[in-house]
Amino acid sequence: MVRKMGVYVVLAFVLYGLFFYWYIFYFSESKLPFEYAGTKADPTTFLNGRELMLSEEYSKIRNLLFFLSTPFEWLFYFLILLFGFSKAFKRWAEKSTKYRLLQIAIYLIWLSFFAFLATFPLNYISYSLSKTYHISTQTFASWMKDELIDFWINYGTWLIIVPVLYWLMKKSQKRWWLYGWLLSVPFTLFMMFLQPVVIDPLYNDFYPLKNKELETKILTLADKAEIPAKHVFEVNMADKTNALNAYVTGIGSNARIVLWDTTLNKLSDNQILFIMAHEMCHYVEKHIYFGIGGYLLLSLLGLYLTYRLMNWVVVRWGKELRIADVSDIRSLPLFFIVLSMLLFASSPLTNLASRYEETRADRYAIEMTKNPEAAITSFQELTRSGLSQVNPPLLVKIFRYTHPSMLDRISKLEEYEIKHQNKE
């Protein structure tokens, strides 16, 4: 039975991978609808032939890696359970110390280490791909440093969560999901407060914008939007990537607007002002707080479904998976599988909400700056620097895109430009 389960799950993963390979490389069409041909959203008007070819190649491989990576983690954790590695990790932990908290820490380091090894090849392929297509400028040593920082941050976070979670499971088999969620609320807010000042600086150096003339323009724009901003931060990303980005991070007094130095190096002041106005909308319309609220509601539902599904799996296949009880630490890989599956399943909904907010931010920015040419050319440069698909396949857009496609964004800006030209 155990061998059959392993064969069936591996076969399912292979068939899943073949489906997405066929869908991305052969079935899906990324060509523009004919009505957009020759418009400013048409990549042939701002990308040369080589850039068009590279963007198609790069996007297809990246999309395939995306659809393979998360289910590969499910497969890994499932095999960890099926072949008794989870049981072995627990046994090694119990032999090492008699203290329960240390046992959990040791179990978790074994599980995290094997997960790191299992997912390393796909992560390296992704890094190597971005180097090959000149998106990444990062050395292997720098990339490896970031990977290890990720590892220890994830390990430290789970070292806080897992002991509390499994203590709650033992104390309340029917309500642990609710108590766990209640504790997650302040923890989530605390982590978001720390993100800009503790976690982000582990990866890069942040400092106030060096270009004071540009900073004055941005702060004038912020004052127009009634945002009490005193600084705009830039971050050194040129040593890692050629891509462009800007974002809002943190909450409360730690909230920041951040510009990558690559954005500063490649875009004009007017283009940057449009991007800054876009980011300011997220602050003005409190998108960060709506995002937190939505995340907490989904996490409540997610933890409840995790509780129900874990109980169902343990009752039905507990013997085969070597899990005697949900509250046994050996069930942790099952917890990760169920939680990850629910996150993946909910991504179309969360991405849809995010795309709606990003559309509003684009509209806000163009109304504030009233410079459609700068807005359109900034998106064209973002497309070029990241070798992005202007019109991604439907499933890619649904599962991957937190922002509208460049086709949607540029075409709306061009409509605005034409509309206001006619009024003049």
Which residues are annotated as catalytic?
279
Question: What are the backbone dihedrals phi and psi of residue 42, each rounded to the nearest 5 degrees, phi first?
Answer: -75, 115
Q: Using CA atoms, how far apart are residues 237 and 121, in angstroms rounded to an integer? A: 24
With residue 376 as reference, give the H or E element that holds it: helix 372-386
- Phi first, then psi, for residue 160 (nearest 5°) are -85, -45
CB-based burial, 107-125: b 16+ in 10 Å, e otherwise: bbebbbebbbebeeeeeee
Contacts of 251 (CB under 8 A, 6+ apart): 189, 192, 193, 288, 289, 292
Integer Cα distance of 83 and 147 in angstroms: 27
Concatenated DSSP letters for 249-290?
Answer: E--GGG-EEEEEHHHHHHS-HHHHHHHHHHHHHHHHTTHHHH
Three-state DSSP at 226 gives coil
- Please give the angle made by the CA atoms of 216, 206 and 351, to the nearest 5 degrees: 90
Our CA angle for 73, 79, 82, nearest 5°, is: 145
Using N-to-C axis directions, what is the helix angle for 49-82 and 332-369, rounded to 10°?
Answer: 150
User: Residue 129 in contact with residue 58, Cβ under 8 Å?
Assistant: yes
